[in-house]
Amino acid sequence: MAHLLPLRVFLSSQTQETPSKPLKLSKRSNNHKTSISTAKKGLLSPSHKMHKLNLEVSPHRAVSAVRLMRIEFGGAFADLLNEKGKGSGDNEMGYVERTLGFRTRDLDDRDLRLVTDIVGGTIRWRRYLDHLIGSLCHDESMFRSMEPLLLQILRIGFYEIVKLNMPPYAVVDENVKLAKVALRPGAGNMVNGILRKLVLVKENNSLPLPKLEGDSRAQARALATLYSHPVWMVRRWTKYLGQEEAIQLMMWNNSDPSFSLRANAAKGITRDDLVMQLNSLKVPHEVSLHLDDFVRVKIGLQNVIRAGLLKEGLCSVQDESAGLAVSVVDPQPGEDIIDCCAAPGGKTLYMASRLRGKGKVHAIDINKGRLRILKETAKLQKVDGVVDTIHADLRTFAESSPMKSGKVLLDAPCSGLGVLSKRSDLRWNRRLEDMEQLKNLQDELLDAASTLVSSGGVLIYSTCSIDPEENKDRVEAFLVRHPEFRIDPVNRYVPSDFVTKQGFYFSDPVKHSLDGAFAARLVRTL
């Protein structure tokens, strides 16, 4: 399951329709799948407020508040990129109008950048911000009973003051206006009082933060607040990495993400061509140190999107860690490769590009809709001639299909703990219980994929996780069940800095400044 999404999926800022009338939540829920309910006391009816233009409310704050509501309660993704017309200013303002019942002035480029920064940052720092908000409320019950839209407005204000260091009293004034218009005057007064308390304690360097002391549980809770991660993740990483490395990992997850672009060789685009395009767009970049087709981009990706480079299939957004996993597969022209959990298709498309028009990638996936998008993207990138899509559950497909291949890739469904810097919402959507279920699924898929490998062929198991229980532990358990396979060290395929003692590929976010990823080559000897 590659973690590169094609443009229409990766850049979409919504996954479901928002209801067409003003909304408000009466109670906050810890369940991110809670649906957004209708009508709340103090909200004007649609006939009173719909189509109303309010020029006093800051547009980026109104959009950020509504998008945060959609992410937490409506199931939308916390995307960091916006395609024109999908997450663009007009589209986002439509959500504000349907949710709050009014529009602000149109968003300019600066507003859109602020929305990206504030939404991503507020989600990353949610636990930290909520601790501060709760500490500065009159009592704990006030915080726990706070209506969700009011809480989002406070989170935005706290993030702007504490993390973005914006002029504090301008932040107070603008968020008070938003609360008064979107909710009621009393809500604005509450925002005013709490934000002013924050300004005072920040100026006095006395933010109410927990101290790192006590037993391991107490320290894990403190670290979870200070670095804004779930407690179970902190305890898990401290166990496997030690406290200092766990802190460094959380700091990486909280940093602004960087992206990589892959030049599409199948359309005749070299990395030099892509670099020329980026220079013409004045987008700062660095060439990859590890892959010939990749370029790193920290800022300016919106310029790339607006220029149409992704829509035209000239390049793709794909992390180098995923590209290195494809290097472990080592696709060669003329080969037939089975990709077992292919959609949405990042690795599929890169493998297809490396076949140079000769051979085939058989892309199997259980999700018919995402396979359709993969097929469309393959056509866009001029690799449709070597990509064959198969809609099936791998486990049942492997039982009945006579298909065999010398190379089989299982890019398995996983926790995604290696991509938390890009997927800022993912840390709050994962539970410890998920890990056990995922391990069972990964074992089942590995067993199924192994039956598709011909004698002397290779099975490549990969994830976008940094968790050893999803990575080396799964491989070791597989080898116990399947003594007909042995480890084929990856040192011939990736730089030595990425090779573990066991001969696996591993990308460490802190060490390599890339997404976390894992891959193992397993040769069938019988």
78 labeled part of a ligand binding site: no
Q: Has 346 been labeled as part of a binding site?
A: yes
For residue 42, what pLDDT is reported?
34
The count of other CB atoms within 10 Å of the CB of residue 526 is 8
Query: pLDDT above 70 covers what percent of the chain?
Result: 87
pTM value? Answer: 0.88
Any alpha helices (H) in 125-184, and if so which ranges? 126-136, 140-144, 148-162, 168-182
160 vs 82, residue with greater confidence: 160
Q: Residue 8 above 70 pLDDT?
A: no
Residues 301, 81: Cα–Cα separation, whole Å: 8
Question: How many angstroms separate the Cα of 339 from the Cα of each of 190, 361, 412, 423, 461?
Answer: 54, 7, 10, 24, 10
Greatest CA separation found in the chain? 75
User: CA 66 to CA 99: how far, in whole Å?
Assistant: 7
Angle subtended at Cα 493 by Cα 259 and Cα 450, rounded to the nearest 5 degrees = 95
Q: Is 344 annotated as a binding residue?
A: yes
Predicted local distance difference test score (pLDDT) of residue 458: 98
By DSSP bridging, strand 517-524 and strand 485-488 are antiparallel
Q: What is the mean pLDDT of the chain?
A: 89
Query: Which residue from 163, 125, 153, 198 is spatially nearest to 28, judged by alpha carbons?
Result: 153
29 pLDDT above the threshold of 90: no
Q: What confidence score (pLDDT) does residue 7 get? A: 37
Q: In sequence order, which residues have a C-beta less than 8 Å from that of residue 350 and are 6 or more positions away?
A: 262, 316, 318, 322, 323, 326
- Residue 173 labeled ligand binder: no
Bond into 402 cis (ω within 30): no
Strands (E), 170-263: 259-263
Comparing CA positions, the residue from 347, 282, 281, 284 lying closest to residue 320 is: 347
Question: Would you state the structure tokens that stand for residue 42, as one six-digit string?
Answer: 């103090």
CB of 501 closer than 8 Å to CB of 471: no
> 36: part of which helix (H) or strand (E)?
none
Check whether 315 is labelled as a binding-site residue: no
Reply yes or no on whether the pLDDT at 24 is more than 60.
Answer: no
CA distance linking residue 409 with residue 322, whole number of Å: 13
* Annotated binding-site residue? 343: yes
Where would I find the H helices in 330-425?
346-354, 368-380, 394-400
Annotated catalytic, 137? Answer: no
CA-nearest of 220, 217, 291, 227 to 261 is: 291
Task: Give 383 or 139, the one with higher predicted confidence.
Answer: 383
342 annotated to a ligand binding site: yes
Residue 346 scores a pLDDT above 60: yes
pLDDT digits (tens, 9 = 90+) for 396-413: 999 999 999 999 999 999
The mean per-residue pLDDT over the stretch 382-405 comes to 96
Three-class secondary structure of residue 121 per DSSP = helix
Q: Are 13 and 77 in contact (CB under 8 A)?
A: yes
Predicted confidence (pLDDT) at residue 126 exceeds the cutoff of 90? yes
Question: How close are the terminal C-alpha atoms of the chain, in Å?
Answer: 27
- β-sheet bridge partners, residue 339: 363, 409
Burial 157-185 (b: 16+ CB within 10 A, else e): bbbbbbbeebebeebbebbbbbbbbbbbe
Other C-beta atoms closer than 10 Å to the C-beta of 31 total 8
Question: pLDDT-based confidence at 138, cuts 50/70/90?
Answer: confident
- 66-114 pLDDT, tens per residue? 999 999 887 666 554 444 334 456 677 888 988 898 999 988 888 988 9
- The verdict on whether residue 347 carries a ligand-binding annotation is yes
Q: Return the pLDDT at 48.
A: 42
Please give the radius of gyration of the chain, using alpha carbons only, rounded to the nearest integer.
Answer: 24
* CA 399/CA 395 separation, integer angstroms: 7
Q: Which residues contact 488 (CB under 8 A, 6 or more apart)?
A: 458, 503, 521, 522, 523
Catalytic residue among 137, 315, 414, 464: 464
Q: Which of 319, 371, 312, 314 is nearest to 341 (CA)?
A: 371
Q: Specify the pairing of strand 453-463 against strand 485-488.
A: unpaired
Give yes or no for a contact between 370 and 344, defined as CB atoms under 8 angstroms apart: yes
Q: Residue 492, by phi and psi: left (phi above 0), alpha (psi -120 to 50) or beta?
A: alpha
Per-residue model confidence (pLDDT) at position 3: 43
Q: Spell out where 150-258 has E strands.
A: none
Helix axes 216-226, 126-136, angle to 10 degrees: 100
Give the C-alpha separation, 219 to 237, whole Å: 13
User: If you count them, how many residues does the chain have?
Assistant: 526
